[in-house]
A and B are shown apart, each in its own frame.
Chain A
């Protein structure tokens, strides 16, 4: 994995998030707030969790360990979209400067409970995308359950659309 590979992953993640946001915007408003039994109950809560995690990991890449989010409250789709847009720009700016050797840099951080962990930057960046992909799968299922149109966020579709 090179720095260019990481930039590709982060660009894919932003593209996939935009497609999910578009699908949520097109769905029935009530579907967004309806509990569906997933890890975080509703589409809104799952999407808010995804956005919060992306923000938190962006902080950790930069050697910061916030114990609580300094983010606007995720009250509706528009506010979550705002967070994801800002975080996405921050991710893109961060990875634009990453060099191959940086991916092996070990970064220590404290989690929300105050426990110290240390991983390489490469693992942290990959994890961010994995975590969002995991929850995007759940959001798409919840959208289908509500009768909304499904949306594909497949990595290979991203390639077809962007290359």
Chain B
């Protein structure tokens, strides 16, 4: 299996496929209502809506970087104010970012995967691996929030 295929497989499994580590992110969001997404069932923790917007924002940034556009982390609207974002819109944003990232990876050769990502010294592989870990990390948190609802 080519390097990019292996990464795409992992990314797809973590998002909507058969993940091994636990439920895939998109599957976790099935059946979550608008009210549940906005609630804070665990003191001190973000809401599901906030986490979904956060993951979507960063996957979009990583897709841009992998595609050749340098994006400074300080310029990213991280932990965006979600007051005006409706739950279905947040899911659409997440899906769009996921699709954009998968498309960016699919266009890479194995050699390009090991080259520096736009605007940083780390490789494209490291950038994508970071996005994958980020998605999985917050998936664990969303699973926990759902149990606490």
Contacts and interface: CB of A to CB of B under 8 A. Distances in A.
Which one of A123, A126, A134 has the highest number of Cβ atoms from chain B below 10 Å of its Cβ?
A134
A147 B22 CA distance: 26
Contacts of A161: none
A90 interface: no
Interface in B77-130: 113-114, 121-123, 125-126, 129-130
B38 to A, nearest CB: 17
Nearest to B42: A145
A99 interface: no
A117 to B, nearest CB: 10
Given A104-B1, A137-B139, A159-B126, A1 B7 contact: yes
B3 interface: yes
A147 B44 contact: yes
Contacts of B1: 104, 120, 122
B66 interface: no
B137 A133 contact: yes
Given A127-B20, A141-B144, A134 B45 contact: no
A156 interface: yes
A139 B50 CA distance: 18
Is the interface on chain B under 10, 10 to 19, 20 to 34, or 35 or more residues?
Answer: 35 or more
B45 A8 contact: no
Given A154-B134, A155-B134, A163 B140 contact: no
B2 to A, nearest CB: 9
B141 interface: yes
10 closest A-B pairs by beta carbon, nearest first, are A137-B140, A155-B130, A137-B137, A134-B140, A131-B21, A144-B44, A130-B21, A134-B21, A137-B141, A138-B140
17 contacts: A8-B129, A12-B133, A36-B42, A36-B144, A38-B143, A39-B143, A123-B9, A133-B136, A138-B144, A141-B140, A141-B144, A144-B43, A144-B44, A145-B45, A154-B137, A159-B122, A159-B126
Given A8-B129, A120-B6, A137-B137, 6 more contacts: A131-B22, A134-B136, A141-B45, A141-B141, A145-B44, A145-B45
